Amino acid sequence: MATEITMVYSQTKVACNELIAAACLKAGQIIVVGCSTSEVRGARIGSAGSDEVAGAILDALRETAAEAGVMLAIQCCEHLNRALVVERELMERYNFEQVAVVPVPKAGGALAARAMRTFADPVVVETMAAHAGLDIGSTLIGMHLKRVAVPLRLAQKFIGQATVTAATTRPKLIGGARAIYELPKLKQMN
Range of the domain at 147: 2-189
14-33: per-residue pLDDT in tens?
Answer: 999 999 999 999 999 999 99
Confidence of residue 170 (pLDDT cuts 50, 70, 90): very high
Those residues whose C-beta lies under 8 Å from the C-beta of residue 51, and which sit 6 or more positions away, are: 105, 110, 113, 114
What CATH number does the domain containing 139 carry?
3.40.50.10360
What pLDDT score does 175 carry? Answer: 85
Beta bridge mates, 72: 31
What pLDDT score does 188 carry? Answer: 59
Those residues whose C-beta lies under 8 Å from the C-beta of residue 24, and which sit 6 or more positions away, are: 168
Total H helices, total E strands in the chain = 6, 9
* pLDDT exceeds 80 at position 184: no
Cα–chain center distance at 117? 18
Domain count, the chain: 1
Beta bridge mates, 31: 72, 132
* Exposed/middle/buried for residue 84 (C-beta within 10 Å: 0-12, 13-18, 19+): buried
120-132: per-residue pLDDT in tens?
Answer: 999 999 999 999 9
Rounded to two decimals, the pTM is 0.93
What pLDDT score does 182 carry? Answer: 79
57-115: per-residue pLDDT in tens?
Answer: 999 999 999 999 999 999 999 999 999 999 999 999 999 999 999 999 999 999 999 99
> How many whole angstroms separate alpha carbon 153 and alpha carbon 105?
30
Half-sphere exposure of 89 (CA within 13 A, CB side): 9
* pLDDT exceeds 60 at position 189: no
> How many whole angstroms separate alpha carbon 128 and alpha carbon 143?
8
154-168: per-residue pLDDT in tens?
Answer: 999 999 999 999 999
Confidence of residue 185 (pLDDT cuts 50, 70, 90): low
DSSP annotation string for 133-159: EEEESS---GGGB-SSEEEE--S--EE
